[in-house]
Structure 1
Amino acid sequence: MSGPLMLVTGGSRGIGAAVARLAAAEGWTVAVNYVRDETAANGLVAAIESDGGSAFAVKGDVGSEADVLAVFRAVDRAGPLKALVNNAGIVDRVGRLDTFSAARIERMFRINVLGSFLCAREAVKRMSTAHGGSGGTIVNVSSAAAKFGGPDQYIDYASAKGAIDTMTVGLAKEVIREGVRVCAVRPGIIETEIHASGGQPDRVAEMGPGLPMGRAGTAEEVARAILWLASDAASYSSGAILDVSGGRSIWP
């Protein structure tokens, strides 16, 4: 393992995979976290290595504290952690709150909120100078839905991402004097597989032309914003939440 170490949760597809590829190209050693698709994670690692980069896959469900601890133990064996990208997250089928089960809401918050909190906690324990670390960066992946609320679609997802925004600001204040910067990105409509997993495979094609830029964004565009926040180029930014939403300011 040659470069500084970055952990990307949910790194085998979509925005996470784009972050892993670009980070490796910029010299990071990347820990690609995945929960189910081992083939995709190993394929991404192989592609990174074939391009001269350094990466390894590590399995674990961020919604499980035991799994999170195991992931961080695996990362510890590769070297000191310098960056965490809290990317793992889920959506669910479109609907209104009055149709949601308790199981759906619990799963949404367990993975999207609890998972990010647990990973951030473990990262701080390793990065903070108060814990003997040498500093680092946490970049949380929020969503423009946190601003718009997701009515008639998934207000549970939007609310979970609102919690991530609040955690970003609060944690940044807690650790700003300990060498740890905490920021976030808020993607808008992005071309990734997450829409299909929520039962809307045509969402990007349908919404893209009506967005301010006349198109959806790409995972690589979001990844470049994440990598900037994780880099020394953003050394005076903490608590910042960067919209990567193509100028989208209201729910269409």
Structure 2
Amino acid sequence: MSDNVLVVTGASRGIGAATALLAAERGYSVIVNYAGNVTAAEAVCAAIHAKGGEAAAVRGDVALEADIDQIFAAADRMGTLTGLVNNAGVVDLATRVDELTLARLERMFAINTYGSILCAGRAVKRMSTKFGGKGGAIVNVSSAAAKLGAPNNYVDYAAAKGAIDTFTVGLALEVAGEGIRVNGVRPGIIATDIHGAGGDPDRAERMAPSLPIPRAGTAEEVAKAIIWLLSDEASYTTGSVINVSGGRASTP
């Protein structure tokens, strides 16, 4: 049984996978959550095992409360939970607000917002000193879109991530006296396959020259910020959201 278990949602690819790999190097036993791509999740675990780390791939859709319970039950079997990275998220095809449907909004908020809040609640029940836990840290993955609004692309995604920013601050204040720190990161244009899911696989490459730092970021660069926020090096940091956006956080 490990005394340092970390749950990373959406960890089969991109930022989640990079975070899981780096966390294992730093001594965490990692729950590699995935929604559907078991091959990718098992590849992340295999890479961790190859370096002597401990990891388990656990299927679960964070839009489903029963699946969330399964994810955290797996963490309990691994040991003592000390960290959560709420990374699972989705985008959709670019569209205007006047073309949005209720079905799209429900999916967008169920995965990007409700799932993160419910996962955080499960983590608090395990980590809070109020419930007999030994404390820990939560990092929520937001987006620069939360500050920029993403007009003519996915305002619904931006709104869902804006809710995560507010939630990060509120939860941080709620559990600050219970041994839990809660922070967030706002990635900007990062070279991952999430852009393909939004119907624009070349978006990062196309936008790179227009960014203040004229290149796309990497999943590893975001992961390093997440791991710092989880670590004791950030022991007096809570309620903060760090921009990892190459300067693209306050201007379109």
* Match runs of 1:1-252 below 5 Å: 2=2, 4-252=4-252
Kindly provide the amino acid, as one letter, of the partner of residue 205 in structure 1.
E
Structure 2 CA distance for partners of 1:241 and 1:33, relative to 1, 3 Å: same
Contact 2:2 2:79 in 1 (8 A): no
Kindly provide the amino acid, as one letter, of the partner of residue 182 in structure 2.
V
Q: What is the alpha-carbon distance in structure 2 between the residues aligned to residue 134 and residue 70 of structure 1?
A: 22
Q: What is the alpha-carbon distance in structure 2 between the residues aligned to residue 189 and residue 37 of structure 1?
A: 23
Contact 1:12 1:34 in 2 (8 A): yes
Q: CA deviation at 1:47?
A: 1.1
Q: What is the alpha-carbon distance in structure 1 between the residues aligned to residue 139 and residue 250 of structure 2?
A: 24
Task: Report the count of equivalent residues.
Answer: 252
Q: What is the alpha-carbon distance in structure 1 between the residues aligned to residue 43 and residue 202 of structure 2?
A: 26
Structure 2: gaps of 5 or more residues: none
Q: Deviations along 1:50-100, whole A, 9 cap, x unmatched?
A: 122111111100000011011111110111100000000000000001111
Runs ≥4 in structure 1, deviation > 4 angstroms?
none
Q: Deviations along 1:174-205, whole A, 9 cap, x unmatched?
A: 00000000000000000011000110101011
Q: What is the alpha-carbon distance in structure 2 between the residues aligned to residue 187 and residue 231 of structure 1?
A: 19
Q: CA deviation at 1:26?
A: 1.2
Q: CA deviation at 1:250?
A: 4.0
SS in 1 for 2:11: coil
Q: Deviations along 1:8-45, whole A, 9 cap, x unmatched?
A: 00000000000001111111111100010001001110
Instruction: Give the fraction of aligned pairs with identical amino acids, expressed as a percent.
Output: 62
Per the normalisation by structure 2, the TM-score is: 0.98
> Could you say what the CA RMSD is over the residues aligned between the two structures, in angstroms?
0.9
Per the normalisation by structure 1, the TM-score is: 0.98
Contact 2:143 2:187 in 1 (8 A): yes
Structure 1: gaps of 5 or more residues: none
Q: CA deviation at 1:206?
A: 0.5
Moved more, 241-250 or 5-14: 241-250
Kindly provide the amino acid, as one letter, of the partner of residue 136 in structure 1.
G
